[in-house]
Amino acid sequence: MVPFKKHILDNGLRLIIHRDETTPMSVLNLLYDVGARDEDPDRTGFAHLFEHLMFEGSVHVPDFDVHLQLAGGENNAFTSNDITNYYMTLPAVNLETALWLESDRMLGLAFSEEKLRIQKNVVTEEYRQSYLNQPYGDTMLLLRPLVYQVHPYQWATIGKNIEQIQTAGLEEVRSFFYRHYRPDNAILSISGPHNEDKVLEMAKKWFGDIPRGVGSLRLLPQEPLQTEQRRLVVERQVPASQIYVVFHTCGRNEQAFYTTDLLNDLLAHGESSRLKERLVKQKRLLSDVNAYLSGSIDTGMFVVTGKLHEETSPEEAEQAVWQELLELASHPVSDHELQKVKNKVEASHEFSESNLLARTMNLAYYELLGDADLLNRQTDAYFSVQGSDIRDMAESMFKKERSTVLYYLKEGSGSG
């Protein structure tokens, strides 16, 4: 159980305060309700590029990092399709420094052509390092536009291509900031040993006067129900072929998400999971197999992926995967197996709660979903899933006409 207090400041900033007297550290987490899905299709990669620029100086603080370092603090940020999240951890005695720095860059950035130019290059190198210079690196760049025909999730956070990033201009940066980086579009979550009233007072002092935004309505085209299978075959210079089978799922905030997550765990979470035990160990068709959810707020992705042994054809591998999926659709899981995945969820939840940063981040994220207290109701939500719920979900999800299949083949393997 993670205790917390919630407040909303006059300018709309949502504030979550979590007291933990057993640690000498404090964490400040600021979540902005803007992600890659909010980008213009001709200006993708922008939310992430913008995240980089948030570290290049604000109106009163030209050098962000040195002050945080002097306070013994560490910080970082990440951008996803849904959110942009900034966090700092530092000795609790210096919490006010974190509030000063974070509030100043919400007040206004020190926009500069030179800094924009440099960070465009840094992001270009990140693009290369993570997506282009790695075997299988471009997988998501290929899969997303297939899985999402309409929704902005069709492009990855890094952007559709390097060119769109390279042509970003300072005026666009400015208007992006004033549109999305406003207190009423943000959630501030603070944890540490301080008394909650003291934290509230400090937060009001530093964030209270920042003017709220004009408010922007998010009207995104929702992804329609898929009615026909989508397939793609590509060849790359990789030492082993890989297949991907992808389905749409409900959004993160729906009750069905918990059933979907347990279904995913049954397939490939842990060495005793179905795909690992049967396709890797017993049948030896694959050298590795994985399943995961994108967990996005709008329609999500359920991804199953496996690396093929030399002698396995992609058709054989795909067939074996479908066999496992369809078995879950036709036979209910045993009580033992269901309890197993529930126990895993309980354990993961406890581990993540033992980490101050994770707790603070999660409080902000669940507040975005509607209520920070959802954090404390997660285990119960999972425990209430029945075996029949899983079977029903598998039956409705695992249909050929609802799937996207990618064969990512080793060059010259002659299959497809």
Partner 1 sequence: MLDNGLKVYLLEGGNEEIVKIELVFFAGSFYQSAPLVAFSAANLLRTGTANRTSAEINNILDYYGTYFHADAQKDIASFSVFVLQKHLEPVLGLFQEIIREPVFNEDEMGVFLKNQKQQYLINNQRVQYIARTYFNELLFGQHHPYGYRVEADSFDAVSRTDLLQFHRDFYHPLNAFCIVSGKLPANIRDMLRISLGGDHWPAKEKNQPPSYLASSASEKKVMVQRPHVLQSAIRIGRRLFNRTHPDYHRLMITNSLLGGYFGSRLMQNIRQDKGYTYGIGSNLVSLLRDGYFFIGSEVGVDVCQKAIDEVYRELKKLRCIPATESELAAMKAYLSGDYLRSFDGPFAQSQRYKELLAFRLDVSHFEGFLKELKDISAHQIMQTAEKYLHEDSMIELVVGRK
Contact flag: residue 71 with partner 1 (CB under 8 A): yes
Instruction: Report if residue 105 touches partner 1, rule: CB under 8 A.
Output: no
Determine the Cα–Cα distance for residues 306 and 285; give it in Å rounded to an integer: 9
Q: Which of residues 147-176 bind partner 1 (CB under 8 A)?
A: none
Q: Which span (41-49, 151-159, 216-224, 349-357) binds partner 1, by CB under 8 A?
A: 349-357
400 binds partner 1 (CB under 8 A): no
Instruction: Give the span between the Cα atoms of 385 and 402, in whole angstroms.
Output: 23
The piece of 85-93, 198-206, 317-325, 391-399 that touches partner 1 (CB under 8 A) is: 85-93
Contact string 295-314 vs partner 1 (x = CB under 8 A) = ------------x-x-----
- C-alpha dist (Å) from residue 295 to 116, 153, 169, 313, 319: 31, 12, 32, 30, 26
Report how far residue 205's alpha carbon sits from residue 164's, in angstroms, rounded to the nearest whole number. 39
Count of residues that bind partner 1 according to CB under 8 A: 65
- 112 touches partner 1 by CB under 8 A: no
Least distance from partner 1 to the Cβ atom of residue 198, Å: 21
Find, among 27, 22, 21, the residue nearest to 356 by Cα.
Answer: 27
User: What DSSP element (H or E) covers 306?
Assistant: strand 300-308
Q: How far is the CB of 132 from partner 1 (least distance, A)?
A: 5
Q: Where are the beta strands (DSSP E) in 193-299?
A: 230-236, 242-249, 286-293
Name which of 235 and 392 has its Cβ closer to partner 1. 235
| Part in contact with partner 1 (CB under 8 A); list of ranges 178-186, 235-243, 323-331, 398-406 | 235-243
CA dist., res. 187 & res. 14, Å (int): 5
Counting every residue written for the chain, the total comes to: 416
Tokens read off for 140: 């998501």
273 binds partner 1 (CB under 8 A): yes
- Cα dihedral sign for 305, 308, 313, 317? negative
Q: State yes or no: residue 91 binds partner 1 (CB under 8 A).
A: yes
399 forms part of the interface with partner 1 (CB under 8 A): no
Position 135 contacts partner 1 (CB under 8 A): yes
Task: List the one residue out of 144, 132, 168 whose CA is nearest residue 46.
Answer: 168
- Residue ranges that bind partner 1, judged by CB under 8 A: 20, 22-25, 65-66, 68-74, 89-91, 94, 117-122, 124-126, 128-130, 132-135, 237-240, 270-273, 277, 280-281, 284, 287-288, 307, 309, 336, 339-340, 343-348, 350-351, 353-356
